[in-house]
Amino acid sequence: MASFIDDLAQENEAGATEFPFMPEGQAVDMGTAPDGTPLFDPRIFDTPEFFRNPYPYYRILRDHYPVYHDKLHNCYWVTRYEDISECYFDDEGFNTIPKGSSSGVLGNTQLELSGVEHRRRRNLYGQHLVGKSLQLRVPSIQRLAREMIGAWDDMAAAGSEYVVDRDGVRTVELGHAFANEFPIRVVCEVLGFPKEAQSDFYYWYNSMMSGLGGSETHKQGLEARQHLEDYVAGIVEARRKEPTFLYDEEGNPISKDIITKLCESRVDGDYLSTEEITSNIALIVGGGGETTRGAIMNLWCLLLRHPEQFEAVLNDEENWDRAFHEMLRHSSSIGGQPRHNSFDIEMHGVHVPAGSLMNMVDFSANHDERIFKEPERFNIFRDDLYYGKLLRSGYRSEGRCNHMAFGVGPHLCPGAWISHQETVEGSKILAETMRNVRICEERMPRDIDGVKPAPMGIISVRDLWLEFDLER
């Protein structure tokens, strides 16, 4: 199998030559100033080396350039936990992501709104995506997980390359067999899309997410969003007249689906427009789709490479929550949130003119040694991380802090609660199914030494090959 490093080198051959691959946790020597301060070359941000091994470079920034003026990319990087937290809570000084960052493909989302406009849409999530409404979706999530896992027998019998049975052992690639599609099925159902639309929904989702990544896929993303909007418009008109429901495993209605609830919602006395409903759906798709896929893959990879912690999770289901939050702190697939500052500011001796692009690096905040001890170490029992309910207000008490994977404050990721629920509930059912599960290491990419596993870097695990014993 081609290594992860080979793939990266092909993606950016010039960058790999300019900045050679280093052992995980070590940075390329970019020189030092006369006073001994390490110099920092912003070209590193565009290289495969940074992609696979980002944390030593973030450490240089935190220690020596906590607000780094990157003239090459015309932005400022904010890398310390305290500074990022303060900016997230200052909705007036850092009140929105840059206009156009998401609206091209996702539409006029609340990500780019602030103040009254933002609160108008954000308050909807309190009704439909948290608390009791969230719990009502558990039966649907569990049923869909069991359906997908139950299909593995047929996939193996049909000769699937992703589910293979041999000598009493089943080998699965968790992404293709489960994680890639599971959150999309869940989102599709809880939103209230008819089953016959699920294949179209999967295409719309993949195209919109790909369309965020660059110009080559942008056109397809825009077209997919238009198709989704046209389809949703018809559903909205129907749901305004006749609501539809979610059902338990016995077929009893337990809750109206989210599209129905959005159709019935009033903000400032007015019903939501179709455009506003579509915008909410686009955000739910992003938050409950790609984020959850990465969370499931990273969680299982980390737990299985720390077997004593995996054993602790199996012995006490409450530890799934601890594992979820520590995974997000250690290896989140969510990098951070850009902001524009409303006023001229001075941070750590750096003047930042009003209207500058400021990148709040959640990756770096989660590895800030000022907050988390031994941040590169995965430990679900660390005593400095808050493992409780996700809070927009954040948490900081008795030496424990929340991670920054979803941000905090007014713009905390709207898909955070969905991602948590889907990842934990889906993982519990996976754990029930896979007996004596382990990573099939010979099918996994290796690092530059050819021995150690390839580092996760700043993305989620691409493919995760697992094997487990079948019942005899």
- Digitized pLDDT (tens) for each residue of the chain, 472 residues in all: 444 444 444 444 444 457 999 999 999 999 999 999 999 999 999 999 999 999 999 999 999 999 999 999 999 999 999 999 999 999 889 876 655 555 556 655 555 555 555 565 556 655 666 667 777 788 889 999 999 999 999 999 999 999 999 999 999 999 999 999 998 888 888 888 887 777 787 787 777 777 665 567 778 888 887 888 888 888 888 898 899 888 877 788 888 888 888 888 887 788 888 877 877 776 676 555 778 889 999 999 999 999 999 999 999 999 999 999 999 999 987 778 889 999 999 999 999 999 999 999 999 999 999 999 999 999 999 999 999 988 889 999 999 999 999 889 887 877 788 889 999 999 999 999 999 999 999 999 999 999 999 998 887 788 999 999 998 6
Does some domain include residue 375?
Answer: yes
Does some domain include residue 441?
Answer: yes
Longest dimension (CA), the chain: 73
Does some domain include residue 8?
Answer: no
Does some domain include residue 263?
Answer: yes
Does some domain include residue 385?
Answer: yes
One DSSP character per residue, 237-273 reads HHHHHS--EEE-TTS-EEEE-HHHHHHH-EETTEEPP
pTM for this one?
0.88
Asked if residue 146 lies in contact with residue 429, where contact means CB atoms within 8 angstroms, the answer is yes
Asked if residue 16 lies in contact with residue 9, where contact means CB atoms within 8 angstroms, the answer is yes
Does some domain include residue 10?
Answer: no
Residue 460 phi/psi, 5-degree rounding, is: -85, 165
3-state secondary structure 277-302: HHHHHHHHHHHHCHHHHHHHHHHHHH
Does some domain include residue 249?
Answer: yes
C-beta neighbour count of 265 within 10 angstroms: 17
C-beta neighbour count of 452 within 10 angstroms: 11
Range of the domain at 125: 54-469
Closest by CA to 459, choosing from 333, 329, 293, is: 333
CATH number reported for the structural domain that contains residue 199 in this entry: 1.10.630.10
Q: Distance from CA of residue 75 to its chain's centroid?
A: 23
**Count of domains forming the chain:** 1
Does some domain include residue 206?
Answer: yes
Strands 357-361 and 400-401, by their bridges, are: unpaired
Cα(48)–Cα(118) distance, integer angstroms: 36
